[in-house]
Structure 1
Amino acid sequence: MNIRKEAVGSTRGHCGQGPTTVDSYTLDTGDGLSVVIWTYGASTVEVLTPDRSGMVGNTVVRLPDLSSYQDRRRNPYVGSTLGRYCRIVGDGRLRLDGVEHELDRNEGRHHVHGGSIGFDRYVWEADAEHQDDELVLHMRLVTPDGDQGYPGTLSAEVVYRVDRHRRLTFDYRATSTAPTVVGLTNHAFWNLSGSGTVDHHRLAVNADRAVVFDSELLPLPQPPSPIAGTALDYREPRPIAGAQIDNCFVLDDPAWAAELYDPASGRAMRVLTDQPGLGVYSADKFTDHPRGGLCLEAGALPDPPGREPSPFSRLDPGEVYRHRTTHEFLIR
């Protein structure tokens, strides 16, 4: 098992950080799983696994260089850690204890994935270590009270864990000095073939219901809807086959969340999480790589606009936000 660190460049300076060196960490188990993470955006850049013939390939979409990751026109959160809160806050208005907070509006009138300067735009502090049979990368970020309109100084951490059983785990933690909302997740575009589109992949989601959205992807104030017999029915594995997916599934069974399988390469990936929701997005609006990967974003269920946040996304002083998601890689 091996950990390698190297510099990949320097940011142009933003987020109050000034020009900052960006490091790449490679966590290589030597047993069929090697993961590359950059400190810019705490981003998953490569996840290298073998196919059924033993050929190793990258199973996440990556961009060519640091400047591409810094270019919002080319980078729709590729592999990034999203925060403070993933998905959409309608009209950029957050209500906490009857007080309305106006968040940064970075997509029309809405707040999306943490705002114009979300967690994906920062260079995170990092250090790596061996822990028993795991390679562990700790990444930390502190953002001030009022950042993007959110109340409270937030201390966030994402821990990447890679083990000999071909498992990649994301452990998220956060604390706040004031009541706020938190919803951290990873925005990797998974493609188990390493190229082309994901249309030939087979997807299964362990959910009977999905959140109901309006045309702007704002959740409606109604219960999740049964998916049996609908276009979102992935309870049994079936090809993605051109389906445009951008929804949040309700996970009632903690055994597993989703499975993705590429028949051509034999690579399979099982997702397990302690979160109640799984956002699935087929990357139809990704300009550089349309349908080139599938996002599987575990997290809290999105809150309807104007509502008080759910217990899964609310964070009060003295509490610790926790979220764990594991990706297990198999060969069939």
Structure 2
Amino acid sequence: MGIVRTPVGRTSGHGGRKPAEVHAYTLDTGNGFAATVWTYGATLVEVLVPDSAGRAENVVVRLPDLRSYEDRRSPAYVGATVGRYCRCVSGGAFSLDGVVHELDRNDGAHHVHGGPLGFDGQVWEADAETRGDRLVLRLTLQSPDGDQGYPGDLTAEARYELGPDGRLVFEFGAVTTAPTIVGLTNHAFWNLSGGSEPIDGHRLALNSRRTVAFDDELIPLPGPPRDITGTPLDYTRPRRLDRARLDTFYVLDDPAWAAELCHEASGRTMWVITDQPGLGVYSADHYRTPRAGLCLEAGAWPDAPNRPDFPSVRLDPGQRYRHRTVHEFPIARS
């Protein structure tokens, strides 16, 4: 068991930012269960999980090199920590206390996943430590007032924790100097086959009977979430993904569990538990390698800054934003 820090390279300084050194931190439990995180984007680039025969393979999609992660022409947010606000803000603007804040737009008229230079494209500060049988990596980022149009100086934190119980824990936090909005998530693409095949053979179960209804631009429609019981979007009972195209936000009403993903051939299963109010599920049909992985993004509801009927994403000075999501791999602890 241990933590290893290795250099990855130096950023190219895109967006007018100064070039910076990037490092990889590998948290290794010593039993085949390990995770590697880069300081660029606080990005999860590898999660090694044993199969039923004890062979450890990477179960998240990764890109070949740092330059691929830096490519802002068509960012896929592969494994990145997404913020200051994940998902969409319609029209690229929102109002707080009667003041309209214009955000940088990166999806036509809209703002998505923190903007053109969101948290996924920045180098975070990192420190790592061993706490008993837990391996902990803490990454922090300073986002100044006006960054991508957001108000307030924000201090963000992404914390990864790994232990011999087969659990990978994401914990996000933030504090602000002025009223703002916050919603952080991890954008990993999961593939329990070890990447040897598309996700179609996986079985998915979701603890949700409602989804947010979207228009053609993936902006929420007026009205409450829709009941999907008995429809093709209903995964309350485990079933194969096959060719199902998913880019949907599921409402989570029960904190006991959020999702279960299984790959029978490898024997790998992943359980997802979160304190967040919803789960974005994306089958990567528009990724460079279609259906290479499945995103299960716990976090805030889409366009919540403009929807007073959705759970609030407001953060005020003196408060602390908190988010905890656990990905549990039972085979890794056996």
Whether these two folds match at TM > 0.5 is yes
Following superposition, the deviation at residue 306 of structure 1 comes to 3.9
- Greater Cα shift, 167-176 or 302-311: 302-311
Greater CA deviation, 73-82 or 215-224?
Answer: 73-82
Contact residue 202 and residue 240 of structure 2 kept, 8 A: yes
Can you list the C-alpha shifts for 1:262-319, whole angstroms capped at 9, x where unaligned?
01111000000000100000001102x2110000000012236743585541101110
Aligned identity (percent) is 62
Distance in 2 of aligned mates of 1:51 and 1:324: 26
Scaled by the length of structure 1, the TM-score of the pair is 0.97
Contact 1:273 1:324 (C-alpha < 8 Å) held by counterparts: yes
Give the structure 1 partner of residue 55 of structure 2. Answer: 55
Structure 2 unaligned blocks of 5 or more: none
How far apart, in 1, do the equivalents of 2:100 and 2:75 lie?
A: 31
Matches of 2:32 and 2:225, distance apart in 1: 39
Mapping of 1:3-82 within 5 angstroms? 3-14=3-14, 17-73=17-73, 75-82=75-82
- 2: distance between equivalents of 1:298 and 1:142? 23
1:315 has 2:315 as partner: yes
In 2, Cα distance between equivalents of 1:317 and 1:155: 11
Q: How does 1:1-332 map to 2 (within 5 A)?
A: 1-14=1-14, 17-73=17-73, 75-195=75-195, 196-287=197-288, 289-303=289-303, 306-308=306-308, 312-331=312-331
Q: Deviations over 1:47-75 (max 9, x none)?
A: 00111111110000000111111113464
Secondary structure of 1:248's counterpart equals strand
CA shift in 2, pair 1:210/1:309, >3 Å: closer
SS of residue matched to 1:199 = helix
Q: Using a 3 Å threshold, how does the CA distance of structure 1 residues 275 and 312 change in structure 2: closer, same or farther?
A: farther
CA contact (8 A) 2:43 2:81 kept: yes
8 Å Cα contact 2:86-2:300 kept in structure 1: no
Q: Equivalents in 2 of 1:65, 1:233: separation in Å?
A: 37
Q: TM-score, normalised by structure 2?
A: 0.96
Residue pair 1:32, 1:166 contacting (<8 A) in 2 also? no
**1:208–1:235: 8 Å Cα contact kept in structure 2?**
yes
TM-superposed CA distance for 1:94, in Å, is 1.1
Does structure 2 conserve the Cα–Cα contact (< 8 Å) formed by 1:82 and 1:187?
Answer: yes
Q: How many residues align?
A: 331
Distance 2:303 2:276 in 1: 15
Which amino acid letter does the alignment assign opposite residue 174 of structure 2? Answer: A
Give the letter for the 1:221 counterpart. Answer: P
C-alpha separation in 2, matches of 1:75 and 1:264: 31
CA distance in 2, matches of 1:75, 1:2: 32
Quick check: 256-265 or 15-24, which moved more? 15-24
